[in-house]
Structure formats: C-alpha cells, structure tokens
Structure 1
Amino acid sequence: MKRRAFITAAAAAPAGLAAPNIVRAQAQHNWKLVTSVPRGLPGPGVSALRWAERITDITEGAINVEVFGAGELVAPFATQEAVEGGTAEVYHGSGSWFSGRDIAHSFFTAAPFGLTYDEMHAWMYFGGGQELLDEFTNPRGLKIFIGGGSGLQTAGWFKKEIKSLDDLQGLNFRAAGLYGEVLRKLGVNPTSIPPGDIFPALQAGTLDGAEWVGPSNDLAFGLQNVAGFMYAPSPVEIYGGIEFGIGMDAWNALTDAQRVMVEAVTEAEANRSSAYTLHAHLQAYEKLQNMPELTIDTFPDDVWDAIEVAAAEVIEEVKQTSDFHQRFVEAYYAYARQSTQYKRFYDSAFLTKRQSFFG
C-alpha cells in the first residue's frame, strides 16, 4: 500500500510541478473592446459585454477583455479604425456603419433583398463567406467574425404617413450603408448618425424619419414617441448583423487553443444574440400593436417598385468597383438565389399553412 501510494504520488509529481511553469510561461493578453453602441444597451450592448466576459472566463483570464461603450474611448463610428490604429484590440459594431470606408462592408450586415440571419450564418460558416471576409479585411489588419443578426428590421419610423413615393421626396432620414444608397435614389436625404443620436435628432426635427433595428430596439429607444408611423419590413436591413473585429496583431499573438476558444465563443454569441433579439422582438411587437396612436404598415406598392429598381442599380455599382467586389457580390447573391428557391418550397409554403392553422 505504501509502495503503491509512493508510485502514484511520484507519477503525479511532474505534472503538478510543471503546471505552474506553464502558467508562468503563458502570455497575458489585455484587450480593449470598443463598441459603437452605448454600454449595456439591451441587445447589442449586452452582447458585447457577454462576449467579453465569456472570453475572459473561458481563457481563465489569459485574455482579459475590457469593454468601452460608444464614445467612452473613441467616437462610435471610429471603432474599426481604432483597432486598425492600435488604440484597441477589438471592435464591436455593424458593417453598415463603416461603409463610408468601403460600401462592400455593408453586405456583411445588410444588403438589398439579401440573406436572412439563418442564411447568412450558413453562408459565412459553410458557403465561403468567411473566406471572402478574410480576403477583404485581413490586409487591413483585421480578423472579423459575425456576431449575430437582428433578423428582418423595421423599414423606418416617420413623422408623416407615406402614401406614395412622392411622400419620400426630400425627407431627412437616418439610414446607413446600402439602405442609405438605395433611398438616395428615391429622393431621400440619407444620413448616418450613431444610434444614441437618433432619438434627439427626431425630437429636434433634424430628422423626418429614421431606421434603427426592429421592435425591441426601437421601443427601447422610444421612437414611437417621436414618430407616429412605423413601416416594415425593411428591403435592405435583412440580416441586421453586428460583428467582432480583432486586430491581426492581437489575433496572431494567441495560441492555437486560444484562437479556437475565441471562435467558439463568437459563434455561440452569434447564435445567442440572434435568438435573444427575435424573442425580444416578439414581445415588443405585441406592445407596439396595442398602441392606438401608432400606425403600423408596409410601404406602398410604388415605393417597393422603386426600391427594386434602385437596389439593382446600387448592387451593380458596387460590383463595378473592383474585380474583388464583383466576385464577392456575385457569390453573395448566388447564395441568396439558391436559398430563395429552397425557401420558396419549404419555408414560404409552411408559413402560409401555419398562418391558416392559427387563423
């Protein structure tokens, strides 16, 4: 018994002695995460905090992530540049908000008649989307992962009723990325402002309307209190995605195991935040429907017709930017076309029957 105990203890000793050396040799990574939304904002703000906490926990503090909300360290729409410039290691935000740097970045968030959040995840993980994103952004020193989508968003909140295409002419409307470019062709004056500025701008009359996300986020921002007409769905904000962008220096400094941990946490967050947003939207939409002073509708047919024409023009313009843009956009819409054919037979037919079932 004594000999066996001695052998067991001796066998365990090298591992026990080696462990502290491994811990001491392991590099410490202190990351600053800058997000474009207010700290702790329901939905995306909470998602950023949860991602940071889980990265810190799963790596047992080897990667310690500190979160800075919009404006706390850098301006809300300067987060991507902050990572490229080394001010922070990670940014969290929507690709549409960085479209002024390259409009193609919007496709990973929202594209005209584009991919829904389940389709986007399938394309990114298995259809070649992540490889195209890497090709697009790795040379700029960024390793970017999708962080979840809100699903089909609200087309917009307006202070006046939209009865026809004429009613959009000259309106000052908050819209980012490709949605802004489509609306510009319809006679709208689009402007991209940070989320936290939307309500004050509507209240002050600087804006005639705005898009933000969907029922839960819009309700949280109080948009129903400053704009009495809500139109949905959006023709462009389909996936409504947000992303985590890690500086390549920070990414390359990790061990292989740590990279796997970061990827796993990010994929989990993309799923969790998408699920949460849909759940929150269901509750919020019910509340909005019960507001008698609020008009909820969809755009008139002539607006939709004009949007289709404008969207086709915008897509073609992006394709003409470079050989990569053409290859990228064609790959994106090839996947959307394939999924449309599939969902026409499966999803559309089922949803019609389910609606009949519930009356």
Structure 2
Amino acid sequence: MTTRRKFLAGAAATAPAALAAPAVAQSTITWRMQTYAGPALAAHVVKPAIDMFNQIAGDRMQIELFFADQLVPTSELFRAMQRGTIDAVQSDDDSMQSPTEVTVFGGYFPFASRYSLDVPVLFNQYGLKEIWEEEYSKVGVKHVSAGAWDPCHFATKEPIRSLKDLEGKRVFTFPTAGRFLSQFGVVPVTLPWEDIEVAVQTGELDGIAWSGITEDYTVGWADVTNYFLTNNISGAWIGHFFANNERWMELPDDLKMLFQLAADQSHYYRQWWYWGGEARLRVHGEKMELTSIPDDEWDTVEEAARTFWDEIAAESETKRRVVEIFKQYNADMQNAGRPYRYTAS
C-alpha cells in the first residue's frame, strides 16, 4: 500500500483532473479535492460543480479534482483532509470513516429516508445541519453542505425474490448498511471502488448494494449484473462536501460562498438526475431484470430497522438526538399523508 501511495502521489501530476486544470497565476489559491466517485460517476455528481467554481473564481482560486482512490483510499479521505494533505472532500461520513458520532448515519442509514427531498428537509428544517456542524468542528473539519443522493438497491448476478435469497450473498456495500444487512445473511465485502466490476465478473462478489439503478448503468455495473431488486433499504444516500478547517478559514468570504453554492448546485443536479434516472431505467432499461421481495416479507426488514435505530441510539447522546429526529420526521411525514407518505390499501 505504501508503494501504491507513492506511485499515486507521483502520478497525480499527470492525472486527468490535473491535466485539465487551467494555467493559474502565482497568487492563485489552489485546492486539491478528492471525491468518493470514480470518473464515470464523478462526471455527473461533482465535476460540473467544480468546473463551474473554477470558471467563476478564475485566477483567484482553482480546485484540482481527483477521483476515487486517486490520491488516497476512500477510507482514508477524512484523515488526509484533517491533516491538510487534501483540502476538500466529497463523500459520505461512513465511507471515509470519519471519527464522529454521526458517521454511522452517513451513506445509507436503514430506512431513515424514503425520498430524496427528505434529506435536505432533515438538515435544514429538523436540525441535522447543526448537529453535523458541531461534530465536525470538534475534529478540525468544516462541514460545508449535505444533500440527497441515490437510493440503495441490490444489483445481483442471481435473482433476489425472497429474504432467503440474500443468505450467503457476498455484497459490496457501506459499513453501516453491511452491519444491518448481515442479520439477513448478507456477507458485506469491502473493496476499492474501481475493483468492483471485475470482482463481480470473477465471482468474488455476488452483488452490489451501493447505489440505485442510475449508477448501475452509469458506472458499468449493469453490464456485469443481471437483476435489480426494487426494494431498497434507504430512499436516499446522505452525502456531503467537507473542507480542512484551516484552509476554509483562509478563504475570503465570497469564495466560501461560491464553494457553498457549487456544493449546493451539485446536490441539486443529483436530485433530478437520480429521480428521473431511477424511473426511466426501470421502465426503459434493457440490461437488468427487475425483481421484488413481497411486501409482507419486506415489512420484517423495515421492522428490524427500527430495532437497529434503537441500538444505535443507545450508543451515545448525540446518536440518540439524531435517531429522535429521524423518528419525529418520519412520523410527521406519515401523518401528513399523500404525497409525503402512504401505505398501500
């Protein structure tokens, strides 16, 4: 791994993102930012926003964008940002293993959300934003922005039509999602993002529970899996933009505002890109066959999630606060009725 890091550090100067960066003046502020996403996915979920930032900021500031594992492994993103090796990061808390009380809720916390709009409402109207800011300020990192990303579905080589079909399946997924799914016989596997497609082809993995169908098609996973399970364990991933706090404080206020706007623009893009893509590819996609687990069986998974929530809440006061917000929010949405929540009659 040490040799690999040295190679990556040396290769960074010739990485596509670095080659694409414009010539800058000597006084230009330069940041290095790494995303959790590989090149094909990053072309949608972060590159347009960073390109916009660079175009507007011009000679005042430029951000060099690096893709998944290009400078450091995704699991080391937080530490690299905290040290200042990387200036900014786009990721969920769970994947980059940040040492905070809220890490378990990043990515896919089981059934915390049903729709993508749930996430920005939870952060901006129900108090999660303040909790995240508190937690990251303790560890020298600026929490810039939170947004909703895609839902979490299984993409598999063999069909999943019952909970029994999950047993023994080796699946690439997130730490917390894997912890939850293991009670149903799923075997969580952690691998570098760029190795996943080959791992499915070679049989090292039986499937993936890392995204919705839009990403399956975008990054090539739909080419190596045959089935897409319509049941999901989360309606939207919780993802963020972060920055090293010292570097953040050095920025003029208008550049801070511009970075915030670029992050929010990225979240907005994802809202409609995923929402439309998930429906369109279910209806018109030709690479994957849709399967479903019956509602009465899937209800047991949702019930298990409520038990899981209570187990997490018991771990600390901060976790209890977050779980209580999830409970209150989901109760409010259920009581609001259609179109916020409804159950089939």
Asked if Structure 1 and Structure 2 have the same fold, meaning a TM-score greater than 0.5 normalized by the shorter chain, the answer is yes
Structure 2 stretches lacking a partner, 5+ long = 1-26
In structure 2, relative to structure 1, the CA distance for the partners of 1:100 and 1:141 (3 Å cut) is closer
| Mapping of residues 105-254 of structure 1, within 5 Å | 105-115=103-113, 116-146=115-145, 148-153=147-152, 155-236=153-234, 238-254=235-251
Q: Residue in 2 aligned with 1:31?
A: 31
Q: Residue in 2 aligned with 1:7?
A: none
* Residue 301 (structure 1) shift: 4.0
In structure 2, relative to structure 1, the CA distance for the partners of 1:61 and 1:286 (3 Å cut) is farther
Q: Is the Cα–Cα contact under 8 Å of residues 35 and 92 in structure 1 kept in the other structure?
A: yes
* Residue 314 (structure 1) shift: 2.0
Q: Give the total of aligned pairs.
A: 318
* Residue 330 (structure 1) shift: 1.2
Q: Is the Cα–Cα contact under 8 Å of residues 33 and 89 in structure 2 kept in the other structure?
A: yes
1:323 is aligned to 2:320: no
Cα deviation, 1:163-197, whole Å, max 9, x if unaligned, reads: 43322222211121332122111121112333322
Q: Compute the RMSD of aligned alpha carbons.
A: 2.6
Task: Report the TM-score, using the length of structure 1 for normalisation.
Answer: 0.79
- Cα separation, 2, equivalents of 1:318 and 1:257: 39
Is the partner of 2:94 in helix, strand or coil? helix
Looking at secondary structure, tell me which structure has more helix per residue. 1
Match of 1:345 among 333, 338, 342: 338
* Residue 85 (structure 1) shift: 1.6
- Cα separation, 2, equivalents of 1:78 and 1:117: 27
Cα deviation, 1:186-223, whole Å, max 9, x if unaligned, reads: 12111233332221111111111212312221013333
Q: Is the Cα–Cα contact under 8 Å of residues 30 and 62 in structure 2 kept in the other structure?
A: yes
- Cα separation, 2, equivalents of 1:71 and 1:345: 42
User: Which runs of at least 4 in structure 1 moved beyond 6 Å after TM superposition?
Assistant: none
1:286 is aligned to 2:288: no
Q: Is the Cα–Cα contact under 8 Å of residues 73 and 192 in structure 2 kept in the other structure?
A: no
- Cα separation, 1, equivalents of 2:160 and 2:257: 49
Return the letter of the residue paired with 2:238: G
In structure 2, relative to structure 1, the CA distance for the partners of 1:171 and 1:134 (3 Å cut) is same
Cα deviation, 1:83-139, whole Å, max 9, x if unaligned, reads: 012101001123331357557324243222212321211221232221111112111
- Cα separation, 1, equivalents of 2:97 and 2:69: 19
- Cα separation, 1, equivalents of 2:313 and 2:111: 16
Q: Is the Cα–Cα contact under 8 Å of residues 149 and 238 in structure 2 kept in the other structure?
A: yes
Q: Residue in 2 aligned with 1:20?
A: none
Return the letter of the residue paired with 2:243: I
- Cα separation, 2, equivalents of 1:47 and 1:224: 18
Task: Report the TM-score, using the length of structure 2 for normalisation.
Answer: 0.82
Return the letter of the residue paired with 1:247: N
Considering only CA atoms, is the larger Rg found in Structure 1 or Structure 2?
1
Q: Residue in 2 aligned with 1:276?
A: 273
- Cα separation, 2, equivalents of 1:273 and 1:112: 20
Q: Is the Cα–Cα contact under 8 Å of residues 160 and 228 in structure 1 kept in the other structure?
A: yes
Percent identity of paired positions between Structure 1 and Structure 2: 20
